[in-house]
Chains A and B, each alone.
Chain A
Amino acid sequence: MTADTAAVIRAIDLAKTYRMGDVEVPALKGVSLEVLRGEMVAVMGPSGSGKSTFMNLVGCLDRPSTGTILVAGQDVSRLSRIARAKVRGRTIGFVFQGFQLLPRTSALENVELPLVYQKVSGRERKRRAVAALERVGLGDRLDHTPARLSGGQQQRVAIARALVTGPELLLADEPTGNLDSATSVEVLALFQELNDQGLTVVLVTHEPDIAARAKRIVAFKDGHLVSDERIRQDRSRPEAA
Chain B
Amino acid sequence: MTIHGAGRTAFRALWRNPLRSSLAMLGIVIAVAAVVATVAIGQGAKAKMAAQMAALGTNLLIVHPGAMNLHGAVTGAGAVQTLVLSDAQAIARELTDDVLAVAPVDRSGGQVVYGHQNWATQLQGTTNAFLTVRDWPIAEGRPFTREEEKSAAKVCLIGNTVKTQLFGGEDPVGSVIRVKSMPCEVIGLLAVKGQGGWGQDQDDVVLMPWTTLMRRIVGTESDAVGMLWISAKSSDLVADAQNEIDALLRQRHHLAAGAPDDFDIRNLAEMQSAMKDQMSTLALLLGTVALISLIVGAIGIANVMLVSVTERTREIGIRMAIGATGGDVLVQFLVEAMALAAVGGAFGCGLGAGATRVIGQVAHWHVVLSPFVMVATLVVAGMAGIVAGFYPALRASRLDPIEALRYE
Who on chain B is nearest to A56 by CB?
B402
By a CB distance below 8 angstroms, the chain A residues around B323 are: 85-86, 88-90, 114, 117-118, 165
- Identify which of A61, A101, A114, A118 contacts B401 (C-beta below 8 A): A61
Measured CA separation A158–B9 after assembly (Å):
19
Measured CA separation A118–B317 after assembly (Å):
17
By a CB distance below 8 angstroms, the chain B residues around A104 are: 12, 16
Q: Please tell me if the beta carbons of B402 and A114 are within 8 angstroms of each other in the complex.
A: no
Q: Please tell me if the beta carbons of B1 and A82 are within 8 angstroms of each other in the complex.
A: no
By a CB distance below 8 angstroms, the chain B residues around A116 are: 1-2, 5, 9
Q: Please tell me if the beta carbons of B319 and A117 are within 8 angstroms of each other in the complex.
A: yes
A230 at the interface (CB under 8 A from B): no
A47 at the interface (CB under 8 A from B): no
Chain A proximity mask over B314-349: 1 for CB below 8 Å, otherwise 0: 110111111111111000000000000000000000
Who on chain A is nearest to B312 by CB?
A102
By a CB distance below 8 angstroms, the chain B residues around A56 are: 402
Q: Please tell me if the beta carbons of A114 and B405 are within 8 angstroms of each other in the complex.
A: no
Contact A88-B405, Cβ < 8 Å, known A100-B314, A104-B16: no
List residues 35-92 of chain A with CB under 8 A from any CB of chain B: 56, 59, 61-62, 81-82, 85-86, 88-90
Q: Please tell me if the beta carbons of A100 and B318 are within 8 angstroms of each other in the complex.
A: yes
Looking at A86, A89, A96, A101, the one whose CB has the most chain B CB atoms below 10 A away is A89
Contact A100-B405, Cβ < 8 Å, known A105-B12, A119-B2: yes
- Identify which of B1, B318, B324 contacts A85 (C-beta below 8 A): B324
Measured CA separation A5–B327 after assembly (Å):
36
**What's the least CB distance linking B7 to chain A, in Å?**
12
Q: Please tell me if the beta carbons of B12 and A82 are within 8 angstroms of each other in the complex.
A: no
Looking at A103, A113, A114, A162, the one whose CB has the most chain B CB atoms below 10 A away is A113
Q: Please tell me if the beta carbons of B322 and A117 are within 8 angstroms of each other in the complex.
A: yes
Measured CA separation A64–B9 after assembly (Å):
34
Who on chain A is nearest to B317 by CB?
A100
- Identify which of A59, A62, A117, A165 contacts B324 (C-beta below 8 A): A117
Chain B proximity mask over A187-199: 1 for CB below 8 Å, otherwise 0: 0000000000000
List residues 84-129 of chain A with CB under 8 A from any CB of chain B: 85-86, 88-90, 94, 96, 100-105, 113-114, 116-119
The DSSP consensus for interface residues of chain B is helix
Tell me how many residues of B have a C-beta within 8 Å of chain A.
23
A161 at the interface (CB under 8 A from B): yes
By a CB distance below 8 angstroms, the chain A residues around B326 are: 81-82, 85
Q: Please tell me if the beta carbons of B1 and A119 are within 8 angstroms of each other in the complex.
A: yes
Measured CA separation A70–B1 after assembly (Å):
27
By a CB distance below 8 angstroms, the chain B residues around A94 are: 321-322
By a CB distance below 8 angstroms, the chain A residues around B402 are: 56, 61-62
By a CB distance below 8 angstroms, the chain B residues around A59 are: 321
By a CB distance below 8 angstroms, the chain A residues around B327 are: 82
Measured CA separation A61–B324 after assembly (Å):
12
**What's the least CB distance linking A72 to chain B, in Å?**
15
- Identify which of A82, A101, A161 contacts B325 (C-beta below 8 A): A82
Q: Please tell me if the beta carbons of A113 and B322 are within 8 angstroms of each other in the complex.
A: yes
List residues 133-153 of chain A with CB under 8 A from any CB of chain B: none
**What's the least CB distance linking A148 to chain B, in Å?**
16
By a CB distance below 8 angstroms, the chain B residues around A165 are: 323
Measured CA separation A94–B321 after assembly (Å):
7
**What's the least CB distance linking A147 to chain B, in Å?**
12
Measured CA separation A59–B405 after assembly (Å):
13
Q: Please tell me if the beta carbons of A161 and B322 are within 8 angstroms of each other in the complex.
A: yes
**What's the least CB distance linking B186 to chain A, in Å?**
81
Who on chain B is nearest to A173 by CB?
B405
Looking at B315, B319, B322, B402, the one whose CB has the most chain A CB atoms below 10 A away is B322
**What's the least CB distance linking B251 to chain A, in Å?**
85
Measured CA separation A116–B322 after assembly (Å):
10
**What's the least CB distance linking B123 to chain A, in Å?**
79
**What's the least CB distance linking A234 to chain B, in Å?**
35
Measured CA separation A56–B401 after assembly (Å):
10
By a CB distance below 8 angstroms, the chain A residues around B1 are: 116-117, 119
By a CB distance below 8 angstroms, the chain A residues around B317 are: 100
By a CB distance below 8 angstroms, the chain B residues around A62 are: 402
By a CB distance below 8 angstroms, the chain B residues around A103 are: 16
List residues 36-72 of chain B with CB under 8 A from any CB of chain A: none
By a CB distance below 8 angstroms, the chain A residues around B320 are: 85, 88
Looking at B315, B320, B323, B402, the one whose CB has the most chain A CB atoms below 10 A away is B323
By a CB distance below 8 angstroms, the chain B residues around A162 are: 322
Measured CA separation A62–B321 after assembly (Å):
11
Measured CA separation A56–B314 after assembly (Å):
16
Chain A proximity mask over B388-408: 1 for CB below 8 Å, otherwise 0: 000000000000011001000
Measured CA separation A89–B9 after assembly (Å):
19
Who on chain B is nearest to A53 by CB?
B402
By a CB distance below 8 angstroms, the chain B residues around A86 are: 323, 325
9 closest cross-chain pairs (CB), A and B:
A89-B323, A85-B325, A114-B322, A117-B323, A100-B318, A82-B325, A117-B324, A94-B321, A61-B402
CB<8 Å pairs between A and B, sample of 19: A59-B321, A62-B402, A82-B326, A85-B328, A86-B325, A88-B320, A88-B322, A89-B322, A89-B323, A94-B321, A96-B318, A100-B317, A102-B315, A103-B16, A104-B16, A116-B1, A116-B2, A119-B2, A165-B323
**Chain A residues with a Cβ under 8 A of chain B:** 56, 59, 61-62, 81-82, 85-86, 88-90, 94, 96, 100-105, 113-114, 116-119, 161-162, 165
**Chain B residues with a Cβ under 8 A of chain A:** 1-2, 5, 9, 12, 16, 314-315, 317-328, 401-402, 405
Q: Beyond A113-B319, A116-B1: 9 further Cβ-contacts under 8 Å?
A: A56-B402, A61-B321, A85-B326, A94-B321, A101-B318, A104-B16, A114-B322, A117-B322, A161-B322
